[in-house]
Structure 1
Amino acid sequence: MPPALRHPSLPDLDRDSARVFDDAARLVRVPAGTVLFRDGATCQNYVLVVEGAIRVHKISEGGREIVLYRVESGQTCVLTANCLITARDYDAEGIAETDVEMIVLPVHAFRKLLALSESFRDFVFSAYASRLSDLLLLIEEVAFGRIDVRLAGWLAARIGPGGTIRTTHQEIAVELGTAREVISRQLKEFERRGWVRLGRGLIEPCDPIALRQLSQGV
């Protein structure tokens, strides 16, 4: 594998480590909607995204779903790293949210590089620590955050040039880790206040300032 195809965030490797990486890594392209791993599946490769986005989510026994994080361009999948390091199966699901171009590194090469290269170890564990902080913040928000504040922040962050957010109540519920009925009820309240206008598969923010103020606790 040519060095030019290495992951953009991967640090410089010494000659022996670079040879291990180049001999084992391969570039893979998958279309949007591809299930890359499922809950309970065996992990066989370390994943490094070059282009696109992978959504990693967890589904409860009751069918509730929550997005844990996304792996985007320049990032790695820390759940995959955890499974490879601990020799455990996946406990969440990963889906290509867009067309994805990624580098996959087989488990034998991943473990060899962990043992051989200090810079590779630093790369893996730095990404792991950063994502762990994000997950702790997500747990705090889900456990203790007010849903109206979180929803207002979610909407405010997605107001684009056109002003319309194309999404469903179920999709927002998944993003915020709650039930669709809770989101629908809160959106109806926002509509009653004149902050949003609801349509089929879309939300039109009418008062972005009010949404931002609520999200900031003003």
Structure 2
Amino acid sequence: MSWAAATFPGLSPEESARLDALPETDLPRGALLFGPGDIAKGFAVVLSGRIEVSLTGPSGREILLYAVEPGQSCIQTTLGLLGDEPYSGEAQTASPVRLVMIPAPLFHALMDRAPPFRTFVFRAMATRMNDMTALLERVAFTRVEARLAQALLDLAEHGVATATHAELAARIGSAREVVSRRIEAMAKRGLVSPDRGRVRLRDPAALERLAQAV
């Protein structure tokens, strides 16, 4: 099955063929897709890999808004294409990524005449809005220690979370200095062992309990 038919079930063969004819692009980890003030020129469909979208405030503090993986969409791009608004955030590949860029004119044409495509866009947009609401609730109502513990658990592979303190701060909506202090406190309690660019989880069960504390 083609990527277009798999991503947008119900598209006509002609519409699927038109999408399948678009070039696929491979990007390395760390590639910048857009930044604040840029204008959306197309709708990216991620075929493999992960793109992270973040927002940086006037103070320089950064927060990870969401990630885009296969089957998901970028709400900032959708809003930009539908509302003609510039990007406020920044998108960067968090791993090698393969994607297809649907040009803006084709995006609007499919929104007008292809209900399966329109359904995908609005359903993905609704899901992303729910994710954003959940992020706001976590930042507003969950303690930093709980958010940090959950982030370490989510990132851990074979007991090691590979991320800098700045990356962890962006993920949980805090400051790097705060994350550094919290990790130091966790290390003193025997929960983690920090190293350069990574954190080893020494007591995952205790971190699970900490993540569930509000």
TM-score by length of 1: 0.90
The Cα offsets for residues 182-204 of structure 1, whole Å up to 9 and x where unpaired, read as 11111111112111122222222
Does 2:86 align with 1:89? yes
How many Å separate the matches in 2 of 1:36 and 1:213?
A: 37
Aligned length: 214
Confirm or deny: 8 A CA contact 1:43 1:83 kept in the other structure: yes
Query: Which residue is 2:121 aligned to?
Result: 124
Does 2:41 align with 1:44? yes
Query: Which runs of at least 4 in structure 1 moved beyond 3 Å after TM superposition?
Result: 15-23
Q: 1:111 to 1:205 in 2, by over 3 A?
A: same
Query: Which residue is 1:148 aligned to?
Result: 145
Query: Which residue is 1:181 aligned to?
Result: 177
Which SS does the other structure have where 1:128 is aligned? Answer: helix
How many Å separate the matches in 1 of 2:14 and 2:162?
A: 49
Q: 1:4 aligns with which of 2, 24, 31?
A: 2
Q: 1:207 to 1:115 in 2, by over 3 A?
A: same
Q: 1:15 to 1:200 in 2, by over 3 A?
A: closer
Which amino acid letter does the alignment assign opposite residue 76 of structure 2? L
Cα RMSD (Å): 1.9
Confirm or deny: 8 A CA contact 1:7 1:103 kept in the other structure: no
How many Å separate the matches in 1 of 2:5 and 2:194?
A: 42
Does 2:136 align with 1:139? yes
Confirm or deny: 8 A CA contact 2:5 2:11 kept in the other structure: no
Q: Which runs of 5+ in 2 are unaligned?
A: none
The Cα offsets for residues 58-116 of structure 1, whole Å up to 9 and x where unpaired, read as 11111111111111123222221111000111111111122211111111111111110
Does 2:48 align with 1:63? no
How many Å separate the matches in 2 of 1:5 and 1:123?
A: 14
How many Å separate the matches in 2 of 1:36 and 1:159?
A: 26
Query: Which residue is 2:198 aligned to?
Result: 202
Which SS does the other structure have where 1:8 is aligned? Answer: helix
Which amino acid letter does the alignment assign opposite residue 210 of structure 1? A
Which amino acid letter does the alignment assign opposite residue 173 of structure 1? A
Which SS does the other structure have where 1:11 is aligned? Answer: coil
Identity of aligned residues (%): 35
How many Å separate the matches in 2 of 1:165 and 1:201?
A: 9
- Give the C-alpha shift of residue 55 in structure 1: 1.0
Query: Which residue is 1:76 aligned to?
Result: 73
Confirm or deny: 8 A CA contact 1:9 1:75 kept in the other structure: no
Q: 2:166 aligns with which of 167, 170, 178?
A: 170
The Cα offsets for residues 105-148 of structure 1, whole Å up to 9 and x where unpaired, read as 11111111111011111110000000110011001111221001
TM-score by length of 2: 0.92
Which SS does the other structure have where 2:86 is aligned? Answer: coil
